[in-house]
Amino acid sequence: MAIHTQESVSGFIASDPQLRYTEQGDARFYAKIGQEHYRKESDGSFTQTETTFHDLVAFKKTAERAHARFAKGDKFIAEGYTREYDRVEPGGQSVRAEEFVAKKLGHDLARTSYEVDRTRRSQVPVEHQTPVGQASAAPALGI
């Protein structure tokens, strides 16, 4: 069987993440993301070029968990797809825009240090989970 692959994007969270709800009541996470770009020089060194900024969204449980765990400046990796849509600008003009829709979203292990909470998600509702960086009073599970 072939390996399932999807588009991915990595970068940093450039804005304060927002959590809103769609008309259907689904959670929607939004953040402006930045991607740093580099040019390889003839001597083998790299020169940083212009940073680009893009829109990233996630929905439902992924949105709620992302909002609880991400902050401006965090480095991330996301799996999903790029979606083009028409956005109405102030003044009523419609422009073509794109956003990355993250189905899976996590911190970039190469650039982030953190501890993993292996509590099963089905046992602990999101609102009762300990935010990243805070100690939990819950007993640890052993194997």
Pull the structure tokens for residue 77: 């990796």
pLDDT at 121: 66
pLDDT at 116: 81
The stretches in the chain having pLDDT less than 70 are 121-143
pLDDT at 126: 58
- CATH H-level, domain 7-128: superfamily: Nucleic acid-binding proteins (2.40.50.140)
pLDDT at 85: 93
Please give the C-alpha separations between residue 76 and each of 13, 53, 89, in angstroms, as whole numbers.
7, 14, 29
Give the integer Cα–Cα distance in Å for 74 and 111: 9
Contact 37/48 with Cβ under 8 angstroms? yes
Model confidence over 28-60: pLDDT tens digits?
999 999 999 999 999 999 999 999 999 999 999
In the chain, what are the domain boundaries?
7-128
